Structure 1
Amino acid sequence: MKRRTWLLSALGATGALVVGWGVLPARSRMGSPELMLQTAGDVALNGWIKIAKDGAVILAMPRSEMGQGVHTALAMLVAEELDVPLSRVRLEQAGADSIYGNVAMLVASLPFHPLDSEGGEKPTKIKMAEWVVGKLARELGINATGGSSSMADLWDPMRMAAATARASLVQAAASAWQVPAKDITVANGVMQHASGKSAHFGDMAAAAAGAKPQDISTKARQDWKLIGQSTARTDIPSKVTGQAQFGLDVRLPGMLFAAMHMSPVLAGTASSMDTQAALAIAGVENVVQIDAWGGGTGGVAVVGKSSWHARQGAQAVQVQWQNPSTALADTARIQADLLKALNTESGFTFHEQGVPTQAEKAAATRIDALYQAPYLAHATMEPMNCTAQVKDGKVEIWAPTQVPQMARDMAAKVAKVDKDQVTVHVTQLGGGFGRRLEVDFIGQAVQVAMACKGLPVQLSWSREEDMTHDFYRPMHLAKFQASLDDKGEVTSLRIKSAGDAITPRWMARAAPHLSGPIDMPDKTASEGLFDLPYGFASQHMSHVATKSGVPVGFWRSVGHSHNAFFSESFIDELAAATKQDPLAFRLNWLKDAPRYAAVLKLAADKAAWGTPLPAGRARGIALHESFGSIVAQVAEVSLEQGQIRVHRVVCAIDCGTVVNPGTVAQQMESSVIYGLSAALFGKIDIVGGVVQQGNFPSYPMVSLSQAPQVETHIVPSTRHPAGVGEPAVPPIAPAVGNALFALTGKRQRALPLVV
């Protein structure tokens, strides 16, 4: 009932309006040809597909490439349906129309338990909620790359757009040759007929533009030639040769460079500054005071003829800082506040089944544990940057962003122009991980550009500014309580967590016009706790939402990243308390969750679970579902000179239909390294509002010599594609922590892991 109330509140205050609107047909995502960029000689067939003179296919690409291989995978869908070589598909940045918005990401925010739809048709309430929220998402058209949702969102629209384009081209050829369309075959972008007539797509594009084919369908699974095959990523050659354009690679005629110098105190501002020393440096052009845009921190930007000149000037400018009016952030105080909140507040109930209080009263044994996770930085390889030009009432920006429309909106707000006067060029991203869902650096760049007399300026942050002015993964605490009967069987599980809610803070920063006046319960705070697959009869999962004052944002796998450590570590505790093997204990409670059990068994089998290991090594296992995918991991761990060493990680994943198995393996490997870095080293400390970690020596990553061997095993599936970029992050910390328990007998309940 509480979840239903939340949903209705989120959809609108006037129920009749929502219901009336909700029964209307969903907006089509095919789009009209006019949405495509008008280029000489190219013919647009719908809002996604253009055909070039030479027969090449041009695809409108609405998602950002940040190393996850999405540009290759989405192009593969189009190449498959059109029967063209992947090399013949070219990408063009999509416009701002709502058809390019990310529907799946918003639908995934609904707080439903994944097992509610396991093994059959989804209940009516879920289908209705997804229908209404999906319609809302189509209207809003929020274009964002995040939530491991790109393939889930575009799987149907892109294939249908390509299938429609193919049918139009074939129909045009059939009309020109006076033959039945069914007798025309397509291979490698060439249409052929048994009579010997043939033409490539470019020959028929103009005629196809007016075609209206009927009964269009996408290819049957058994006819796929490209989907499901490991395929070389199309973006790799340009990255190897240095031709790929990241944000910091942008170069424009007359371009200036700017370096940021922000208040060392989070949310602080510059009250006054002495620019004399900075302006005396040869090559320094200007010093601009910068406001706190997009929830960020204020400061000054020094403009120079090169980035070196700008950074020298930034070090020389003397600034008097003004602290925020609110209490200065301090991690020790925040941790104490979270513990108090856990002990005194009931929080919002995300999931309840059975009668937990009754089971707790009848318990023969109770097991309690407190888990905690620290703030984390994103630490993208490419620090925040944006190139901007403000000239003749127009704004043009070049940015590595995950949210081009929100970047456009921020640029328009700062420059005080209409949105249609802003052009956004999305470069490749040197890492995103959720940090580039923010637009603070966009606002800074545009404000600097406004002071540069029409010249373009590239604003960039140093590594230290990037690390100390992030939107951090929140600090979270969670209390676990399990009841056991006199036979040692688990009869109930109660989980209460506490920590800042990300989504309301992000919406207020990035899209204030879409953010309501009241905070709604945030699924990301409790995901990985309220949605466990284990069949304990009585369960109660709640979360206490807090406001620490620390800027928090989406971090790779979001709440799952720490909640999986909490939950899968505690599941191991229950196995130990009941004197059962961790694998056997999990399988016993997964009898009603066969997909989860299958993934767990595959990982265990491939890791040779239960077989002897060399002396001084131990295995740990963990299972977690996130972004529609189920991942199990087995980690082999030892201690070398008092340090944790992870030798091998075996991953099994069920992510639905797989487009490019090679990319899945790459993302499993990437996720393990990213998650392992956080598990072993990740921690942001804040004292007096000042972040203490400033660069990789104090915020280390897993090095090449420390990296484990990672094996990936994919469960065959015919389900709709699910997420790949994030689901392997959550299980690594508990898998390693559980291995450490097997090795040392000491239970790790806090991150980062220590020995």
Structure 2
Amino acid sequence: MKRRTWLLGTTAGAGALLVGWSALPQRSRIGLASMMTPGEGDFALNGWIKILPEGGVVLAMPRSEMGQGVHTALPQLAAEELDVPLSAVHIEQAGWDAIYGNVAMLYGYLPFHPREEEREDGFGRVKAGRWMVGKVGRELGINATGGSSSVADAWEVIRLAAATARASLLGAASLRWKLPAEDLEVVDGVVSHPSGRRAGYGELARVAAATPPGAVELKDRRKWRVIGRPAPRLDLPPKVNGQARFGIDVRLPGMRYAALRLAPTLGGSPGRIDAAAALAMPGVERVVVLPAYAGTSAGFAVVAASYWQAQQAAQAVQVEWRAGPQSGLSSAGIARTLEDAVRSREGFTFYTEGDVDRVPEGSRTLQAWYHAPYLAHATLEPMNATARVDGDRVEVWAPTQVPQPCREAAARVAGVPVGRVELHVTFLGGGFGRRLEVDYVAQAVRVAMDLPGVAVQLIWPREEDTTHDFYRPMHVARLRATLDAKGHPVALQVRSAGDAIAPRWMERALPAFAGPVDLPDKTGSEGLFDQPYAFANQRIQHVFTRSGVPVGFWRSVGHSHNCFFIESFIDEIAAELKQDPLALRRSLLRDSPRHLAVLDLAAERSGWGSRPLPAGRARGIALHESFGSVVAQVVEVSLQGPAPRVHRVVCAIDCGTVVNPQIVAQQMEGAVVFGLTAALYGRIDIRQGAVQQRNFPDYPMLRMGSAPHVETYIVPSERSPGGVGEPGVPPVAPALAGALFALTGQRHRALPLSDLS
């Protein structure tokens, strides 16, 4: 409570302290050499960079690799500033100091319109907000991989850390040779002088560790040799040859396996348990009752010598399940509640401009309702974690996006100080936001506590994963546009409703900092209040609800459905005005040259308006900004019976400075498949508090034979990097819906779009 009072400044003394603290410079993130784990013969030069005896470089890696290429992109930043080949850069898991926290991710949740900072003259509320969040973020040091922020967060700190290390190495050579540092150059990790003197980084590391770097300058982009160029993924060879270790691959001496069963209704719990039959089965050792950890339902786990034995035994346990407080929930009822909320409550106003209530003479109003369902994450690797508890020491192996919250969750369950928890972060077989949660780690630790000194791997069956996810919230939106007598769109009103994500996640993952906080959550309205179109009059509101369904971050979060709402509605306005959807967008982007350039590139490359399609095919177009990047997509579709068949998707993206264009293309391709899966098939239905979908047969994925051809075109930019992993998801659904309207004349305002009969 003292911490919360101090942060909010609710007393005069605390308020004065907060003002004084705010005026101090932001904490440096370069860090000390002691923050890196020492190895034999290596020398750390700061909190990010070590030099190996043979001259290789070790980079502290604070972000999780879940297929997005971060274990290649961040080493590219270090390789560039150190002037070494990418192959010379190795990674090791970063420690727990605050310098490794993800500050950029916190910036991303500030509820400012993208144009506000550009319009701001001087130090206004946007810059003040970023300054304060930057300071708080550097103090909290929340280490998380999410929000498409890994490269954006590392962009300055890793380059500066590497440049600082390079300056120390040059300083060491200068001291050794008694030559001016400015006369030295570095090529592939070798320092040389025109006189012929040469030394590799490994030879200079010891002296460099004791040499102040002096003036440090980042390399001019005109001299870049690594940043901006395609480079092979460093994580691909081990994934191809089988050496890569995902969480589910962890194998330890004497390890046991645990299979999980959770209450069939959300928030339910086990009552009477008869485990006699299960305990009599071969290899079975015990049954452990699991409380409702970190927002999930309660249940039990069966521990056995193999996972197959544990699974079979779990099915043999006889249990009387108790219904929880959510047993009366239904997705149909929640949808009606959200519609009522939109009709009866104003909610929180995220953005307002002009006067939307003034109706020009001769104008008309266009209104539409849009719906998006609950969605599961359905990661390819099911939820799992391995834990070993030995006295007051806990060791965990987990595929997680949030290492520090996982350590804290493990410590709470085991009743030990967090410093006694050692966490090994493995590769993630898909994250998409699901592995921002800590429930599965808490469960693994609790099971391991019943087998002291024995490592236990807890695995969620796919059915539990599907029926006990932290779902993308159901959302409903009502959109209204005012068209003046000349047919110009002059006003836009949007009111949406749905559960808040960030406060619920904070309660689960950061209970020490959060508590029951209900501040306006940007994720509810992102993609609506910050859309780029030039409506002179706007009012964008969101009604926050608490349905009782566990909700969490899902790839591209609020943008994933809000883009469908706004871009489909733009298409509706175009149809009402009998305008081409591209032409209307261009007219509404007159003050947004960055967005217009992306839109035009996608239209040009797709042949919009210039290359006719074969009979039975149509195109749809959509544009969206999210996570600091702007993406436009054109989708080509036909019908195979009542079902859509997407043949081609053309993507254009401005994501600022590109570190690795090959990874950008890969992420666009993955985002298109992910987004199409949701647009065509994705829905979670709840009846009487129970999720109806259980596995891939009733929660299908886009199959390889149905995947479209994806083309990616990158707009050159010198802006700081934006996100890449998520921005390709939002435009897919509205572009597909627009193509279907062009093909059939039917407007679809609810997802998914798989069956148009």
- Shorter-chain TM range is over 0.9
C-alpha distance in structure 2 between counterparts of 1:382 and 1:674, whole Å: 15
Residues 51, 201 of structure 2: 8 Å contact kept: yes
Query: Within the alignment, does 1:530 sit opposite 2:529 as a pair?
Result: yes
Question: How far has the Cα of 1:119 moved from its partner?
Answer: 7.8
Residues 149, 723 of structure 2: 8 Å contact kept: yes
Question: How far has the Cα of 1:177 moved from its partner?
Answer: 1.2
Residues 602, 652 of structure 2: 8 Å contact kept: yes
Residues 507, 516 of structure 2: 8 Å contact kept: no
C-alpha distance in structure 1 between counterparts of 2:351 and 2:45, whole Å: 47
Question: How far has the Cα of 1:117 moved from its partner?
Answer: 3.0
- Which residue in the other structure is 1:306 paired with? 306
- Which residue in the other structure is 1:498 paired with? 497
C-alpha distance in structure 2 between counterparts of 1:122 and 1:604, whole Å: 37
- Which residue in the other structure is 1:604 paired with? 603
Q: Which amino acid aligns with 2:286?
A: N
Cα pair distance change 1:295/1:162, threshold 3 Å: same
Q: Which moved more, 1:319-328 or 1:338-347?
A: 319-328
C-alpha distance in structure 2 between counterparts of 1:735 and 1:162, whole Å: 42
Per the normalisation by structure 1, the TM-score is: 0.97
C-alpha distance in structure 2 between counterparts of 1:744 and 1:432, whole Å: 36
C-alpha distance in structure 2 between counterparts of 1:389 and 1:12, whole Å: 41
C-alpha distance in structure 1 between counterparts of 2:303 and 2:53, whole Å: 44
Alignment of 1:138-287 (within 5 A): 138-287=138-287
C-alpha distance in structure 2 between counterparts of 1:202 and 1:413, whole Å: 42
- Which residue in the other structure is 1:3 paired with? none
Question: How far has the Cα of 1:195 moved from its partner?
Answer: 2.1
Alignment of 1:64-75 (within 5 A): 64-75=64-75
C-alpha distance in structure 2 between counterparts of 1:529 and 1:120, whole Å: 21
Alignment of 1:626-665 (within 5 A): 626-665=626-665
Structure 1 residue runs of 5 or longer lacking an equivalent are 1-7
- Which residue in the other structure is 1:24 paired with? 24
Paired residue secondary structure (1:357): coil
C-alpha distance in structure 1 between counterparts of 2:395 and 2:42, whole Å: 25
Identity within the alignment, %: 60
Residues 637, 645 of structure 1: 8 Å contact kept: yes
- Which residue in the other structure is 1:718 paired with? 718
- Which residue in the other structure is 2:91 paired with? 91
- Which residue in the other structure is 2:461 paired with? 462
Question: How far has the Cα of 1:363 moved from its partner?
Answer: 5.7
Question: How far has the Cα of 1:125 moved from its partner?
Answer: 1.8
Residues 6, 18 of structure 2: 8 Å contact kept: no
- Which residue in the other structure is 2:563 paired with? 564
C-alpha distance in structure 2 between counterparts of 1:300 and 1:39, whole Å: 41
Paired residue secondary structure (2:320): strand
- Which residue in the other structure is 1:336 paired with? 336
Residues 36, 47 of structure 2: 8 Å contact kept: yes
Q: Which amino acid aligns with 1:171?
A: G
Residues 42, 50 of structure 2: 8 Å contact kept: yes
CA offsets 1:32-81 (integer angstroms, 9 cap, x no match): 11110122211111000011111110110000000000010000000111
Query: Within the alignment, does 1:41 sit opposite 2:41 as a pair?
Result: yes
Cα pair distance change 1:60/1:659, threshold 3 Å: same
Paired residue secondary structure (1:620): strand
Residues 534, 586 of structure 1: 8 Å contact kept: yes
Residues 118, 593 of structure 1: 8 Å contact kept: no
- Which residue in the other structure is 1:294 paired with? 294
Residues 117, 123 of structure 1: 8 Å contact kept: no
Q: Which amino acid aligns with 2:608?
A: W
Residues 263, 321 of structure 2: 8 Å contact kept: yes
Q: Which amino acid aligns with 2:28?
A: S
Query: What is the aligned residue count?
Result: 747
CA offsets 1:500-541 (integer angstroms, 9 cap, x no match): 000010000110121154400000010011011011110000
Residues 11, 133 of structure 1: 8 Å contact kept: no
- Which residue in the other structure is 2:80 paired with? 80
CA offsets 1:196-236 (integer angstroms, 9 cap, x no match): 22111111111111111222011000010010001110000
Q: Which amino acid aligns with 1:622?
A: A
- Which residue in the other structure is 2:672 paired with? 672
Paired residue secondary structure (1:310): helix
CA offsets 1:462-500 (integer angstroms, 9 cap, x no match): 111111110000000000011111111111100000000
Query: Within the alignment, does 1:552 sit opposite 2:551 as a pair?
Result: yes
Paired residue secondary structure (1:356): coil
Q: Which moved more, 1:612-621 or 1:317-326?
A: 317-326
Query: Within the alignment, does 1:442 sit opposite 2:448 as a pair?
Result: no
C-alpha distance in structure 2 between counterparts of 1:267 and 1:151, whole Å: 37
Question: How far has the Cα of 1:194 moved from its partner?
Answer: 1.9
C-alpha distance in structure 2 between counterparts of 1:56 and 1:554, whole Å: 38
C-alpha distance in structure 1 between counterparts of 2:179 and 2:272, whole Å: 78
Question: How far has the Cα of 1:625 moved from its partner?
Answer: 0.2
Per the normalisation by structure 2, the TM-score is: 0.97
Q: Which amino acid aligns with 2:537?
A: S
C-alpha distance in structure 2 between counterparts of 1:240 and 1:122, whole Å: 52
Alignment of 1:321-470 (within 5 A): 321-359=321-359, 362=361, 364-470=363-469
C-alpha distance in structure 2 between counterparts of 1:488 and 1:603, whole Å: 26
Cα pair distance change 1:375/1:200, threshold 3 Å: same
Structure 2 residue runs of 5 or longer lacking an equivalent are none
C-alpha distance in structure 1 between counterparts of 2:382 and 2:7, whole Å: 35
Residues 116, 123 of structure 1: 8 Å contact kept: no
Question: How far has the Cα of 1:332 moved from its partner?
Answer: 1.1
Question: How far has the Cα of 1:120 moved from its partner?
Answer: 8.3
C-alpha distance in structure 2 between counterparts of 1:10 and 1:346, whole Å: 29
Residues 535, 588 of structure 2: 8 Å contact kept: yes
Q: Which amino acid aligns with 2:332?
A: A
C-alpha distance in structure 2 between counterparts of 1:11 and 1:148, whole Å: 28
Alignment of 1:701-716 (within 5 A): 701-716=701-716
C-alpha distance in structure 2 between counterparts of 1:301 and 1:749, whole Å: 42
C-alpha distance in structure 2 between counterparts of 1:550 and 1:329, whole Å: 8
CA offsets 1:292-344 (integer angstroms, 9 cap, x no match): 11101111100010111111111111112122235532111111111111111
Q: Which amino acid aligns with 1:133?
A: V
Question: How far has the Cα of 1:12 moved from its partner?
Answer: 4.8
- Which residue in the other structure is 1:5 paired with? none
C-alpha distance in structure 2 between counterparts of 1:17 and 1:545, whole Å: 33
Residues 477, 499 of structure 1: 8 Å contact kept: yes
Paired residue secondary structure (1:293): coil
Question: How far has the Cα of 1:285 moved from its partner?
Answer: 1.0
- Which residue in the other structure is 1:574 paired with? 573
Paired residue secondary structure (2:294): helix
C-alpha distance in structure 2 between counterparts of 1:16 and 1:574, whole Å: 52
C-alpha distance in structure 2 between counterparts of 1:350 and 1:63, whole Å: 31
Residues 383, 440 of structure 2: 8 Å contact kept: yes
Paired residue secondary structure (1:351): strand
C-alpha distance in structure 2 between counterparts of 1:13 and 1:727, whole Å: 38
C-alpha distance in structure 2 between counterparts of 1:335 and 1:122, whole Å: 44
Cα pair distance change 1:166/1:560, threshold 3 Å: same
Superposed CA RMSD in Å reads 1.4
Cα pair distance change 1:549/1:303, threshold 3 Å: same
Q: Which moved more, 1:508-517 or 1:242-251?
A: 508-517
Residues 388, 452 of structure 2: 8 Å contact kept: no
CA offsets 1:598-633 (integer angstroms, 9 cap, x no match): 100000000010131100111100000000000000
Q: Which amino acid aligns with 2:601?
A: L
C-alpha distance in structure 2 between counterparts of 1:649 and 1:533, whole Å: 22
CA offsets 1:650-687 (integer angstroms, 9 cap, x no match): 00000000000000000000000000000000000011
- Which residue in the other structure is 1:60 paired with? 60
Paired residue secondary structure (2:211): coil
Residues 228, 661 of structure 2: 8 Å contact kept: yes
- Which residue in the other structure is 1:315 paired with? 315
C-alpha distance in structure 2 between counterparts of 1:721 and 1:692, whole Å: 41
Paired residue secondary structure (2:357): helix
Paired residue secondary structure (1:295): coil
